[in-house]
Amino acid sequence: MICGQYRAPRWAPGGHAQTILAALAAACPAVSYRREVWPCPDGDCIGVDFAQPEPQSATAPVLVLFHGLEGSSSSHYARALMSEAAARGWRALVVHFRGCGGLANRRPRAYHSGDSDEADWILRCVRARWPAARLHAVGVSLGGNVLAKWLGERREDAHLLQAAAVVSVPFDLVAGGMSLARGFNRALYGRHFLRSMRRKALDFERAFPQRVDIRRIAASGDLYEFDDAFTAPLHGFRDVMHYWQQASAKPWLRSVAVPLLALNARNDPFVPAASLPSPQEASPSVLLEQPAQGGHAAFVQGPWPGDLRFVPQRIFEFFERGA
């Protein structure tokens, strides 16, 4: 269960948010994208970015990435994975959740950690478009929870995928959410995520008046308060705890039938090590790798500014040899 391949970076950022983010930005490879806008079944739309160069063969392996909270194709982990996929001759695409990637919502809904129905629709669209290709999926953080939950819920039906991988997943959303509401995590989250989410919620209120309590959303100071005011009621949950409990992927890991690599660092500031799944909580199809270090969706290696190749290389090794 414990992965021995990862080695901590020599530059040791020391836990300062700006230093960590600057290091990740410096380590990112450049990626060119081609965008498509896909219509959703309910009349909304999502942005899908294809890494370039794109293979012409209809049988080229396909990689679908589900990003993390407020992520996009520009996120450091997306650029690292898309760059590696393009270099290997794969067709690789980042699928943006509702309201992400620069596209505003057309319907009164957003995205959330348990939205496996959305993942099902997306993956079946990709399968129908390239039926002769081997299809793989990766989810990071929130996107990893969505993907892992989908795999467990669909069980044998999920075999439209050859294999999957998830990285830095808060499998227990209650534990992860409460961790984000404390100390350094609260400061980092509030500065770099919550402001963006509140701004989107204000835009949402202008487009769809009186759907949510905008005063509570504007006053939210952490993930708990935001999800209780916006995410949970908008998507039919009683409150934040009901949402987090129902959306968590951890209870579904025993049902996963598709080869799945689950990579989580035990020093992830957003995902408490005690909340990570054990082998007894997962099916034999799930390979749990939990190195001591790596942080959240980073696993930077080498001297400053480091590089982000560990995660893409480990994922492709799993897809090409271990799955």
**pLDDT digit string (tens) for 259-311?**
999 999 999 988 999 999 999 999 999 999 999 999 888 888 877 667 788 99
83 annotated active-site = no
Confidence of residue 39 (pLDDT cuts 50, 70, 90): very high
pLDDT, residue 12, reads 42
Of the chain, the percentage scoring pLDDT greater than 90 comes to 75
pLDDT, residue 189, reads 61
- Which residue out of 75, 141, 168, 248 is catalytically annotated? 141
Q: Which residues contact 198 (CB under 8 A, 6 or more apart)?
A: 217, 218, 220, 226
pLDDT, residue 181, reads 67
Q: Kindly provide the residue ranges of all beta strands, DSSP E only, lying in 7-148, ordered along the sequence.
A: 32-39, 45-52, 62-66, 91-95, 135-140
pLDDT, residue 7, reads 56
- When pLDDT is averaged across residues 232-236 and rounded to a whole number, the result is 96
Among 214-223, 235-244, 248-257, which is the least confidently predicted range?
214-223
Neighbours of 210 (CB within 10 A): 7
User: SS3 for 39?
Assistant: strand
> Is the pLDDT at 16 greater than 70, yes or no?
no
Q: How far apart are CA 98 and CA 111, in angstroms?
A: 6
Q: Residues 94-107: pLDDT tens digits?
A: 999 999 999 988 99
Sequence spans of domains, the chain: 17-172+248-322, 174-246
Confidence of residue 257 (pLDDT cuts 50, 70, 90): very high
> The domain 17-172+248-322 belongs to what CATH superfamily?
Alpha/Beta hydrolase fold, catalytic domain (3.40.50.1820)
- Which residue out of 115, 116, 268, 275 is catalytically annotated? 268
Half-sphere exposure of residue 242: CA atoms within 13 angstroms, side-chain side: 11
Enter the tokens of residue 137.
């999926």
pLDDT, residue 30, reads 82
Of the chain, the percentage scoring pLDDT greater than 70 comes to 87
307 annotated active-site = no
Which residue has better confidence, 89 or 14? 89
pTM: 0.92
- When pLDDT is averaged across residues 308-323 and rounded to a whole number, the result is 88
296 annotated active-site = yes
Q: Residues 44-86: pLDDT tens digits?
A: 999 999 999 999 999 999 999 999 999 999 999 999 999 999 9
